[in-house]
Amino acid sequence: MGYNVSMMADSTSRWAEALREISGRLAEMPADSGYPAYLAARLASFYERAGKVKCLGGPERTGSVTIVGAVSPPGGDFSDPVTSATLSIVQVYIVEAVQYLLIKVFWGLDKKLAQRKHFPSVNWLISYSKYSGALETFYEKFDPDFISIRTKAREVLQREDDLNEIVQLVGKDALAETDKITLETAKLLREDYLAQNAFTPYDKFCPFYKSVWMMRNIVHFNALANQAVEKAAGMDGQKITYSLIKHRLGDLFYRLVSQKFEDPAEGEEALVAKFKKLNEDLTAGFRALEDESRCMLCTRFSFCWPEF
């Protein structure tokens, strides 16, 4: 008990500012922005306290110390010396002649997200984790599809960022139907997957299985919608557009939005059954929509063209 400890340091920027004041009083040679030249070394000595350790005393026990350091760059400028030094630190530890390499995780907080009441206000475009490779074995064991689903979700969010500039110039209505679907999928990921409310029983924590299934269904919706639009584009029947999908499959879309309201207290089996049912209903709903579009010619003929 208490062998694995997490420590939050808020904020190392204030500590660095105090270090700068002390350095100035001691008449030491200033470096970038007036900080002492040994700033990076002092930061490294602090973060190097983290890692896997052998506890003192007996019996023999192993523990770990995880350090979460908060950096507050002035004006959100990531070129700030404290921010640059923190990001450049490679954490290597030697414990009992065994070398442990702890790869960094960076969560970039975004003031604009906080102003929009999007919490946690972590910018998904600039944040990263290099633990992904180390955790691939766990992900594969838990759900072989998770890595590919996560990659597709990232691609959608990145594509949304690229489209935002176009939307500001020509408006959303001028976009291609597939791009409209991308924006809607990204909105689902942002508002109904990434955003959480810590004051509600259904959202104060999210088990991994719930996260995987929520993301799977959102990505599945994106794939089915794009597939339906592309198939209908090369046919003589009714064209499938984003607005048609939203109108005809409104109930399924509402269920996608409502996934986050499922309470983990119901149990894993019950929630997974609901998520699987939604996944199947999405497939069936888009299949019916495609069939309806393909059979629009039936108003002129007494039969439907077979699908080859």
Q: Are residues 54 and 201 in the same domain?
A: no
Which pLDDT score, from 0 to 100, does residue 183 have?
A: 96
Q: Are residues 152 and 295 in the same domain?
A: yes
- Domain stops at, among 103, 118, 149: 103
Q: Is position 117 within any domain?
A: no
Q: Are residues 70 and 203 in the same domain?
A: no
Q: Is position 122 within any domain?
A: no
User: Domain containing 252: what range?
Assistant: 136-307
- Domain stops at, among 103, 125, 159: 103
pLDDT digits (tens, 9 = 90+) for 106-121: 888 888 898 999 999 9
CATH of residue 283's domain is 1.10.1140.10
Q: Is position 110 within any domain?
A: no
Which pLDDT score, from 0 to 100, does residue 92 have?
A: 38
pLDDT digits (tens, 9 = 90+) for 201-221: 999 889 999 999 999 999 999
Q: Is position 113 within any domain?
A: no
Q: How confident is the model at residue 305 (pLDDT cuts 50, 70, 90)?
A: very low
Q: Are residues 148 and 296 in the same domain?
A: yes
- Domain stops at, among 84, 103, 122: 103
**Average pLDDT, rounded, for the chain:** 86
Q: Are residues 73 and 149 in the same domain?
A: no
| DSSP string for residues in the chain | ---EEEEEEETHHHHHHHHHHHHHHTTPPB-GGG-BTTHHHHHHHHHTT-EEEEPSSSS--EEEEEEEEE---GGG-TTSHHHHHHHH--EEEEETTEEEEE--EE--B-HHHHHTT-SS-B-TTT-EETTTTTTHHHHHHH-TTHHHHHHHHHHHHHHHHHHHHHHHHH-GGGS-HHHHHHHHHHHHHIIIII---TTSTTTS---HHHHHHHHHHHHHHHHHHHHHHHHHHTSSSPPP-HHHHHHHTHHHHHHHHGGGG--GGG-HHHHHHHHHHHHHHHHHHHHHHHHHHHGGGGGTSSSPPPP-
